[in-house]
Amino acid sequence: MLKNQQRVCTFYQLQLTFDNKKVGQSDYKAILSKNNIKAFTLDTLEQLCRQVREYDMKPYLNKDEQIVADIEDDKKRCWLEKTYKHLVSNRPRHRLLPEIYLWEKIYKIEHNTRFFEPKRRPFELGINPFKRRLDEHTPPYIPKVLRPYPKSRKKFETTYYPDV
């Protein structure tokens, strides 16, 4: 390898530029420039990794049930597995984002010439369509034949989202 050869990698969404120079603690202000870290050695990367290891970064459900296999309720465990697999597969959401048509952009947003019409669209009501929760969907429907007897009014399956 050449002395001036630089390697670029991604570490927690921060672009790091490695050089063969050693940097002391007083040089940190000179290192940072425009989200790029210059003159970064492997020793300082080890120090950062040691600091990150101090935090408990294990993703667990709660203190009692740390893994999905610990959940005793079969329906909850199956629902959690199915929801997780659907979430990770990056399929489109249940409700798609509302579309802003070109005429709405011109006449309602940019020039506000149709102020007399009732405000029904999300951009008119001040609703941010990008701020959505994971539980904003209709749960799966239970057909009337498969509902528990006698005459259950519960039409949809239970979801086990946490109350936040």
Which CA distances in Å does 148 have to 132, 151, 159?
A: 33, 7, 17
- The pTM assigned to this predicted structure is 0.52
Q: Both tokens of residue 41?
A: 């050695």
Each residue's pLDDT tens digit, 121-160: 988 999 888 888 888 888 989 998 888 877 778 899 999 9
Each residue's pLDDT tens digit, 37-96: 666 677 777 777 777 766 666 666 777 778 888 888 999 999 999 988 988 898 887 778
Backbone angles phi, psi at 126, to 5 degrees: 80, 25
